[in-house]
Structure 1
C-alpha cells in the first residue's frame, strides 16, 4: 500500500495542475473522476513499488522507531535506480521507482536500489524482509503523520479497528504500475487486470502468519484487506465492466469519506458517501467539497486495481528476491503482451472472482492450480535470459503447487517464527 501520493511511482499525478474549485454536485464530481481515470496511449512503461518489513537483527521482536528509521534513511544518498524512499505507518520501508521502459529495466533498477538500501540498513543492524505480512510483531504505528492518526480514528469509528491497524502497519506488497493503454482497449484491459487477481494472489502468496500466529490463509495480507469495507477496498468493476472510468467514478462517489483537511486531516466518524457531501446533503468541516478534496478522497480508496491515469496492480504479497523478477515479469507480460492477454483471460476465467479462495488455499485449489500453470507457461516462453533463473524457480514452484508462503511456513515450524524471520533478515543484510 502507498499512502503518500507522488508522481514517481506511476506515470502522472491525478488532478495535477487543475484549478481548485468547489464542486457543484456529485454529477460534476463524477465527470471529473471519469475524465481523469485513465490516459489514452501505448503500453510499455512499468513502475514498481516494493515494501519491506524492517527487523532488528539482534531483537526481531523490537519494532524500529520513527526517528531511528529516518536517521538510517538520511545516510542512504541517491539510489542508482532513482527510487524514492518512504516509511509506511508500521515502519516498513518502501522503494518507489520511476517508470521504466518495460519490465526488465524496471526490475533491474529496483534490484539495484534494494541492494543499496539493504547494505545501509545492514550497517545499522537492520534487515529488510519481503513478506506479505509481519509474521511476528503485533500491529503498531510508528509513523507519526497526522494522516495515519486520523486513519486510525476512522477505522475505530467504522468498527474495523483491528483490520485497519493490521492493514496499515503489518502488511506489505509489490505494486506494479502499468500504462492504461489505448482507449478502445480499456475495458478488456481493466477486466483482465481484475480477473488475473485471484490467480496471481495464489502464485505470489507469502504471508501465512500474522502477529505470531498461523492464520490458516496463505495470504494473510489479502485476508486482512478482505475484512475492510468493500466500498473502499473491493474491486471497482460494475456489472459489465464495459466502462471502467464510469465504474471508478461510481465506486468513488459511493465510498465513504475517510478524512477531511481542516487544515490537518480529520477523521470522518460517520458514514458519509462522497456523493452526499458533493450534493450538499451533508457538510463536512462546515463546507462543501472542492476538487482538491475529491483528489484527496481518491487517495484513500484502496481497490485491488486502482486507476490513477495508469493502472495500479495492488493485490500481490511481497515475495522473496529470487521470485520477485519472475512475478513482476509474469504480471506485466500477461497484461501488456497482446499475443498473451487473450490466452491469459481464457486461462483465469474460471477463477476470476475467487479472491478469498485464492488467499486461503492458494494453489491447493485445482482450478487455481490449472490457471496458474497456464499463465506461467505463457510468460516462461517469453522471459529474457536475465530473468530465466527466477522464472525457472517460479515455474517449478507452481508445478509443485507451492508458493512462497509454504516455504516460510516450513521455516517457521522448523526454526520457530523468530528464527525464520531472522534467517530472512540476515539473508538480506
Structure 2
C-alpha cells in the first residue's frame, strides 16, 4: 500500500539525465512482463561473443589508499567515461573497447561483440595492455585478485545511481558496499540463440555456473583477512541483496520458459530507485509490480522498466544478449580462459549438451563452489570433464595458440589436481547450495 512506502530522496547531479521523454507508460503487469521478455531475450543465430573485464586498482607505494577521481581522469584522458568527467569525449580504446569506472574506482573494459573468438581475445588483450599503460602513468596497478585484500569499501564515484544503490544495499547489511566497491569480475557475453535453443543455452550457462565459479575462484582475502571463502566476491554479492542477486532455482529445460521466468522475477523484485527530474527516490519494499499497480503514484514507463532491469545482478542476466557474471576477476591474461571455455562449450549444441550433462551432479552448488572451490569433490569431477571438453574444442573455434596453451596448463595443473585425495576435499551434503553463510566483511 502506498501509505506504507518509505522513500529516501537523493539529489541528482545537475548533469544527470532525466528519464526518457517518450517511452510508453505501463499500466498492466502483463504488458510489463511481455516487454521484459521481448527486450531481454533477442532471438537469432548465436554468432557473437564479448567480454567485460574489471580490475581493482592500487598504488604499490600506498596500497591502502583508494584510487581518486583526479588520478583516474588524468590517466584515462579522452577515454574517461562521462560519469567520471562529464566533459570527456569518452573515446573507445584503440581496438574498440569502452572504458567505465565502478563505484569504488574499479576500472572496467567492455569489448564490442565480435563473431571471431580469436579476434576478440587479441583485440581485448591489446586494449587491456593499452588501458593498463595509461593507468601506470599515475602509478595505478591492477590487483591480481577479485576482492580488495586490504582496504575497507569506499565509494569514490559520486553519481545518483551509486548513491541510490548504496542506500538500498545499506538497508540489507554491510555487504552491498563491499560488493560495489571492493570486488571485480570477468563477465562473458553471448547470444541467447535461436528460439528453439534459448532454453537449453540458458540452462547450460546456469549449470556451468558452480563449476566455473569454483575453478576461477580468486578472492580468498577481503578487507585484511581471510574470509573462509575461495570467492569472497561471490559471497559478498549474494549477501548484498538476495532478491536482486541470487541465482534462480535449478532449471527444468523440458518445461522452462526463461523469458517468462525472468520477466516474473523482474516484476517481483523491489525497485532500487525511481529517477525523478532533480531528485531520485529510493523506495522501501516496493516491487516493480507494485509500482505498475499504483504504489508510487505516477505509473512507470518502459524506460523505468529497462532501468530497473539494470539494477538486478544475478549470476546470469539477459540483456538482449546473455551476460555471464559469476566468474571472479583473474590475474594477468587469465581473463581469456573463462571466455574461451564458455565460447568452446556453447559453439556446438551437442557439446553444450555434454557439458550440461557433466554438470548435473553439481547443479545448485553455488555456495559450495564459492566456499570450497575445486576442493569440493563433486565440483572437481564435473570440472575435469568440462575443461577437457573445452580444451578439445578450442582449435575448432579459432582460439589463439596462447589461449590453447594457457587453458591446457590450467586444466593439467589446477583442474585435474582438483580430483584430490578425499582427506583434502570437501563434499558435505549438508551445505546449503543457495544461501551463503559466514562472515565476508
User: What TM-score range do you get, normalising by the shorter chain?
Assistant: 0.7 to 0.9
Against the structure 1 CA distance between its residues 181 and 237, is the aligned structure 2 distance closer, same or farther, given a 3 Å change threshold? farther
What secondary structure does 1:184 align onto?
A: coil
- Given that 2:71 and 2:138 are in contact with CA atoms closer than 8 Å, whether structure 1 keeps it comes out as no
Against the structure 1 CA distance between its residues 400 and 251, is the aligned structure 2 distance closer, same or farther, given a 3 Å change threshold? same
RMSD of equivalent CA atoms? 1.8
What TM-score comes out, normalization by structure 1 length? 0.85
Question: How many pairs does the alignment contain?
Answer: 381
What TM-score comes out, normalization by structure 2 length? 0.83
Q: 1:68 aligns with which of 50, 67, 71?
A: 71
| Partner Cα distance (1:222, 1:265) in 2 | 32
Report the equivalent of 1:86: 100
Q: Which moved more, 1:129-138 or 1:180-189?
A: 129-138
What secondary structure does 2:208 align onto?
A: helix
Against the structure 1 CA distance between its residues 18 and 179, is the aligned structure 2 distance closer, same or farther, given a 3 Å change threshold? farther
Q: Which moved more, 1:26-35 or 1:360-369?
A: 26-35
Report the equivalent of 2:87: none
1:347-386 C-alpha deviation (Å, 9 max, x unpaired): 1011110000000001001110000010110011122434
Against the structure 1 CA distance between its residues 43 and 239, is the aligned structure 2 distance closer, same or farther, given a 3 Å change threshold? closer
Deviation at 1:191, TM superposition (A): 0.8
Q: 1:337 aligns with which of 334, 348, 361?
A: 348
1:358 paired to 2:400: no
Q: 1:232 aligns with which of 238, 244, 248?
A: 244
1:165 paired to 2:168: no
- Given that 2:203 and 2:251 are in contact with CA atoms closer than 8 Å, whether structure 1 keeps it comes out as no
Report the equivalent of 1:5: none
Runs of 4+ aligned structure 1 residues displaced above 3 Å come to 75-78, 236-241
Report the equivalent of 1:121: 135
Could you list the runs of 5+ residues in structure 2 that have no partner in the other structure? 1-19, 80-90, 420-441
| Partner Cα distance (1:364, 1:95) in 2 | 31
Against the structure 1 CA distance between its residues 125 and 401, is the aligned structure 2 distance closer, same or farther, given a 3 Å change threshold? same
Deviation at 1:58, TM superposition (A): 1.0
- Given that 1:237 and 1:247 are in contact with CA atoms closer than 8 Å, whether structure 2 keeps it comes out as no
1:183-223 C-alpha deviation (Å, 9 max, x unpaired): 11111111111111100000110000111110000000111
What secondary structure does 1:268 align onto?
A: strand
Report the equivalent of 1:377: 388
- Given that 1:232 and 1:255 are in contact with CA atoms closer than 8 Å, whether structure 2 keeps it comes out as yes
- Given that 2:249 and 2:364 are in contact with CA atoms closer than 8 Å, whether structure 1 keeps it comes out as no
| Partner Cα distance (2:138, 2:260) in 1 | 48
Report the equivalent of 2:15: none
Deviation at 1:237, TM superposition (A): 5.4
What secondary structure does 2:336 align onto?
A: helix
Deviation at 1:151, TM superposition (A): 1.3
Q: 1:209 aligns with which of 194, 212, 221?
A: 221
What secondary structure does 1:100 align onto?
A: coil
- Given that 1:154 and 1:268 are in contact with CA atoms closer than 8 Å, whether structure 2 keeps it comes out as yes
Q: 1:400 aligns with which of 395, 402, 417?
A: 417
| Partner Cα distance (1:21, 1:323) in 2 | 44
Q: 1:293 aligns with which of 283, 300, 304?
A: 304
Report the equivalent of 1:349: 360
Deviation at 1:100, TM superposition (A): 1.1
What secondary structure does 1:227 align onto?
A: helix
Q: Which moved more, 1:120-129 or 1:292-301?
A: 120-129
1:110-163 C-alpha deviation (Å, 9 max, x unpaired): 11011111112222211022422111111000001111111111122x322x11
Report the equivalent of 2:31: 28
